[in-house]
Structures are given as C-alpha cells and as structure tokens.
C-alpha cells in the first residue's frame, strides 16, 4: 500500500505489530503468578480445660481465657489446599512451604501460587502436642495466623 506521497505506508507495519503486541500482552498477563504469605505466632496453652484441641486461627482472633506461652520448634506447613475443596489435604501436593516457629513463637510462610482465589491449608505439629490442620480461603496476599497448641495427654502408645 502506498500513501498519498507514493511511498510505502506504515499500515502494514501497524497491521502486523498490533496483533503481535496484543498476543504478547495476553501472554504476559496469562503467566503472572500470585502469592501467599502467612505470618503469626505459635503458643502453648498452659493448663487448658479438658477436651481442648490445638487450633489454628487464620485472619481472626482466638477467644480463650487461659495462659499462653510462646512455643519454639512447632513445624508449620502451608500448601495449596485444592480448588474449593474442604477435604483433607495430601501433603504430597506439588506446592508447599514449611518452617518452624522461632524462639519467640513467630513464623512466616509463603511463596508463589496461582493468581486466583483457592483454598490453602496450614498444618502444625510438634512432638508431645496435638497436631492441627486448617483449610482457609486464600483471597488476599497477606494472612495472619495464631496457633494455640495443646499438649497431648493421651497415654496410649
């Protein structure tokens, strides 16, 4: 195509570049990953009432009237919990991140995930304590968690 001056028009360039640029923009948007971060504290509930279990509170505050002390060395595992499934999570899942609580009970977990809402899961365990699992809706980047662990008083081997 020639413009009024008789030279080749930039129309071909524009017709070629526009679809290429749109394709590239779609690819960039399509491969953008999301993220998840959970940070918080692990406590031991000293002298809890009978039949109390270890609990994980994500994005809400625990209500209890007992004495809490920070707990070091609790193993925390965070992983993709399955798209909108409340079933128990298989730890062999592809994505998971784990850490242990520090001396002051603090922890931070996180990583790259899919860029959408999904159910994430967090597990906590420590020798001599009851384990717990919490499945929660991952709908924002930053989550806070409070873990209150209870000693395992079951005398069964």
Instruction: Express each pLDDT in 122-148 by its tens digit.
Output: 999 999 999 999 988 888 889 999 999
Strand partners, 109: 38
Domain count within the chain: 1
Residue 27 pLDDT class (50, 70, 90 cuts): very low
H-helix or E-strand spanning residue 145: strand 142-149
| pLDDT given at position 54 | 95
Residue 131 lies in a domain: yes
Domain of residue 56 covers 34-149
Residue 112 within any structural domain of the chain: yes
CATH classification of the domain holding 104 = 2.60.40
- The answer to whether position 2 is within a domain reads no
* 154: in domain: no
Q: Residue 113 domain-assigned?
A: yes
Structure tokens at 59: 């994005």
Q: Are 86 and 135 in contact (CB under 8 A)?
A: yes
Residue 82, by phi and psi: left (phi above 0), alpha (psi -120 to 50) or beta? left
Dist. CA 133–CA 96, nearest whole Å? 14
Helix extents (H) in the chain: 11-30
Q: Is residue 64 part of a domain?
A: yes
Determine the Cα–Cα distance for residues 104 and 58; give it in Å rounded to an integer.
Answer: 19
Does residue 142 sit within a domain?
Answer: yes
- Judge whether 28 and 22 are in contact, CB under 8 Å: no
Tell whether 74 is covered by a domain.
Answer: yes
> Is residue 14 pLDDT above 70, yes or no?
no
Per-position DSSP letters for 92-113, written without gaps between them: T-S-EEEEE--TTSEEEEEEEE
Query: Closest by alpha carbon to 52, among 157, 155, 152?
Result: 152
- Please give the Cα distance from 148 to 157 (Å, whole number): 24
Answer whether 141's CB lies under 8 Å from 115's CB: no
Q: Which of 29-33, 35-39, 40-44 has the lowest mean pLDDT?
A: 29-33
pTM for the structure as a whole: 0.72
Cα 29 from Cα 44, distance rounded (Å): 44
């Amino acid at each position: 195509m020639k413009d009024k001056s008789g030279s080749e028009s930039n129309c071909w360039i524009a017709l070629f570049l526009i679809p290429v640029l749109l394709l590239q923009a779609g690819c960039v948007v399509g491969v953008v990953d999301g993220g998840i971060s959970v940070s918080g504290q692990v406590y031991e509930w000293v002298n809890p009432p009978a039949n109390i279990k270890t609990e994980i509170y994500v994005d809400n505050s625990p209500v209890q009237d007992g004495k809490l002390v920070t707990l070091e060395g609790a193993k925390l595992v965070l992983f993709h919990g399955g798209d909108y499934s409340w079933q128990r999570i298989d730890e062999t899942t592809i994505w998971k991140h784990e850490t242990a609580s520090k001396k002051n009970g603090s922890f931070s977990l996180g990583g790259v995930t899919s860029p959408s809402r999904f159910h994430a899961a967090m597990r906590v365990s420590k020798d001599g304590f009851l384990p717990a699992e919490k499945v929660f809706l991952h709908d924002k980047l930053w989550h806070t968690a409070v873990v209150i662990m209870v000693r395992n008083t079951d005398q069964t081997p």
